[in-house]
Structure 1
Amino acid sequence: MGQDVSYHSLFDFKEISQGNVADGNQDHFELFAQDLLKAKGFYVERSVTRGRDGKKDMIVSEVMKGAVGEKKVFALVSCKHNAHSGKSVNDVIFDNVNSVLQQYDCEVFIGFYSTVVSSGVEEELQRHKDSRASSLKGYHIVDRSVIVEWLVETAETLNVFKRHMPVSYRRYISSDSFSGVYSEVPTAACHYCGVDVFDGFDGNVHTIREVKYQGFSDCVEVNKIRDVYFTCSEHADIRKCDYSQNFQGSCIVHDKSKVLSCVSPLGYIKKLMDDVRLIRSGYYSFDDDSFRKWSNLQRALFYFVSRSVESPSKNLFISRFNNYHLK
């Protein structure tokens, strides 16, 4: 194993092309922002366009739910990609921002930045938010640390990470910044070709369940997990065998999940707790071999979820459990 590395150093935003170099990729950062915001649940109302002043704007929306109804809130997204120079964002030309807010009926400003922002930026935004003459009702700064947090949050955001920053993604997945309780990196062989599906996380986890009903009712008599196995992306749709021959008189249910969705922290804990709840309720049961496979899967996946985090931000993984006070 190599030397442990700083968590944040795994993420190199210089993989994303510069915006001031006319090489055909100058909109890369804005497209990255658009994809990540979509993965976070925003709807893109107006895609990346370049205005008359040369600045690029994007309009997104989010549905806010309250006790008496829902409201669709529109936000202006402003992107600045200073990772190549390392400079902080120290200005927001608000005359332009305010006119765009009014033009597109936006209430919120989102600053999406690959570096940090100076205190003056937030002070300026707060000043305009407090002004009665301004259309601004709220703002959110998505700087480097927030983007890092978002990239590893769900299977959808991990896909954005993998697509736009492939070198960093590979470094993150294979880094030695894990919990320290494993002696080596786990592997998972495709049932058909033996390829390690943890190498790139392009494969699938398959769960085979035997379901038997009582007579012609909807009441489940048997819901037993009979097999757990892996396939690479090339063999994703090939069935391992005809299980109906093995469990005649039962309905065979074939569940398939992307490995990538299982190694995101939120995806992992959600799926694990869902399974535990179903096992505890008696809805799921196992035979000895399938339980061994399921248990080994959880232990293997935990390697990729339990990586150590250097000086985590207050919103990073640990905060997902801040309401749990176990004694």
Structure 2
Amino acid sequence: MPVLDFKEIQLPTSGAQHDQFELFARDFLDILGLKIVVGPDRGPDAGRDLIVEEIRTGALSENRVQWLVSCKHKANSGKSVTPSDEPDIHDRVMTHNCKGFIGFYSTLPSSGLATKLNASELPFEVQIFDSEKIEKTLLSSPEGALLAKRFFPLSWSCWEKEHPAPADIFRDDPKLYCHYCNKSLLTPKPHGIIVTWTSILDNRSTGKEHTEHLYWCCKGKCDEMLSSRYCRDGLVDSWEDIDDLIISVVYIRWIMATLNKRQGGATYSGEAFDKSKELLLNLFPLVSRDMTDAERDRFKHLAMIPSYLGGFGYDG
């Protein structure tokens, strides 16, 4: 499903900001590293919206290629860009002494136009940026994200809510590495599990829970290898998914459960207690934000699972 709604950019036929799509194209091509030779203007343009220059650097020489840019904004109608929308491409490219043609479209080229632009006998290069390619490029870099935020404020607000960045709280970025393979468990997105090994202390039938080990790791092989290392008589393991634990409500419930156990006399080894603090500190920047819709749905699902099966339901 597309992230950016190109209808947010005003049509070129109306309003005081009718050249917004051309300005967007200019800034987009600029962040790709192209030099803007001729920018958007008003009045007769002889079939060009912009002219940009690409510098190609080889081992022994530098080559400069100028591209004619044609912008077509048809997102509101949803119609494709047809050959009648792009007449005389060859003559336009030659008139402006360019070596390439860039079609910058908020929809797609029609099959007829695509055939025309893919013809092998064309004496110039062709690049097409359709809505999907533009969106993919914008979302792949910090500069692109800033540009998307400027021209697609509503779309960006929705996307940002569902793809929150960690809160900027501490000097260093939060980090958790698998205790077996040392792979990051927080990038590119949170994954893996938190594992605890506990025992019931046998000190004259007090029955107090004691946490001996706490660590985090990848699911699957890493978990199996670490389990074989820590498993021994009298210890029982339990786990939490990291991507569940960064849901704010789940995080708070986990802290409250830990505090309640401590109040009830549960104990921790020095190592397990230090690991608990490290875990809380590194997950907090990922928690201190609004829940995404997917996380709200996940919490509702967890609330339907009984606590003895790892959920939050049926207590009290």
TM range (shorter): 0.5 to 0.7
Q: Which amino acid aligns with 1:68?
A: L
Q: Note the C-alpha offset of 1:43.
A: 1.3
Deviations 1:104-137 (Å, cap 9, x if unpaired)?
A: 321110100001111111211233x514xx4x2x
Give the SS at the match of 2:94.
Answer: helix
Between the aligned partners of 2:48 and 2:31, the Cα distance in structure 1 is 20
Matched to 2:26, the amino acid is Q
1:93, distance to aligned residue in structure 2 (A): 3.4
Instruction: Tell whether 2:134 aligns with 1:147.
Output: yes
How big is the shift at 1:100? 3.4
Letter in 2 for 1:81: H
Match for 2:19: what amino acid? Answer: D
Q: 1:290 to 1:68 in 2, by over 3 A?
A: farther
- Displacement after TM superposition at 1:76 (Å): 0.7
State how far apart, in whole Å, the 2-side matches of 1:290 and 1:63 are: 52
Q: Does the C-alpha gap of structure 1 residues 81 and 290 become closer, same or farther in structure 2, counting only changes over 3 Å? A: farther
Is contact 2:9–2:20 with CA below 8 Å preserved after alignment? Answer: yes
Match of 2:4 among 2, 11, 14: 11
* Secondary structure at the counterpart of residue 49 of structure 1: coil
Whole-angstrom CA distance in 2 between matches of 1:205 and 1:62: 40
Superposed displacement of residue 70, structure 1 = 2.0
Q: Percent identity?
A: 32
State the SS of the aligned residue for 1:38: helix
Q: Aligned residue for 1:130?
A: 121
Query: Is the counterpart of residue 59 in structure 1 residue 46 in structure 2?
Result: no
| TM-score, normalised with respect to structure 1 | 0.51
Checking the alignment, whether the CA contact within 8 Å between 2:166 and 2:285 is kept in structure 1 is no
Preserved contact between residue 74 and residue 107 of structure 2 (Cα < 8 Å): yes
Aligned pair 1:172/2:164, yes or no? Answer: no
Once residues 61 and 86 of structure 1 are traced to their aligned partners in structure 2, the CA distance between those partners, rounded to angstroms, is 30
SS in 2 for 1:110: strand
The 8 Å contact of residues 228 and 290 in structure 1, kept in 2 or not, is answered as: no
Q: Tell me how far 1:228 sits from its aligned partner.
A: 6.3
Q: Which amino acid aligns with 1:24?
A: A
Secondary structure, in 3 states, of the residue corresponding to 1:83? coil
Corresponding position of 1:104:
96
Distance 2:5 2:58 in 1: 39
Q: How far apart are residue 46 of structure 1 and its match?
A: 0.7
Q: Deviations over 1:70-110 (max 9, x none)?
A: 21111111000000111111125342x33332233211101
The residue identity in structure 2 corresponding to 1:30 is E
Change over 3 Å in CA distance of 1:298–1:109 after alignment to 2: farther
Q: Distance in 2 between matches of 1:51 and 1:162?
A: 29
Unaligned runs of 5+ in 2: 175-186, 189-274, 295-316
Match of 1:93 among 82, 86, 90: 86
Report SS of the residue matched to 2:118: helix
- Do structure 1's residue 156 and structure 2's residue 143 form an aligned pair? yes
**TM-score normalised to structure 2 length:** 0.52
8 Å contact kept, 2:48–2:92: no
The partner residue of 1:29 within 21, 24, 27 is 21
Cα displacement (A) at 1:150? 1.2
Paired residue for 1:71, among 49, 63, 72? 63
Q: Structure 1 unaligned runs (5+)?
A: 1-6, 179-184, 189-203, 208-226, 230-267, 270-287, 308-327
Alignment of 1:282-321 (within 5 A): 295-296=282-283
| 1:25 positional shift | 1.0
Please identify the structure whose Cα radius of gyration is greater: 2
Superposed CA offset, 1:274-294 (max 9, x none): xxxxxxxxxxxxxx9998799
**Structure 2 match to 1:198:** none
- Given the superposition, is the C-alpha separation of residues 26 and 63 from structure 1 closer, same or farther in structure 2, using an over 3 Å criterion? same
Return the letter of the residue paired with 1:160. L
2:241 — aligned with what?
Answer: none
Question: Where does residue 212 of structure 1 map in the other structure?
Answer: none
Which one scores higher on RCO, CA 8 angstroms, separation ≥ 6?
1
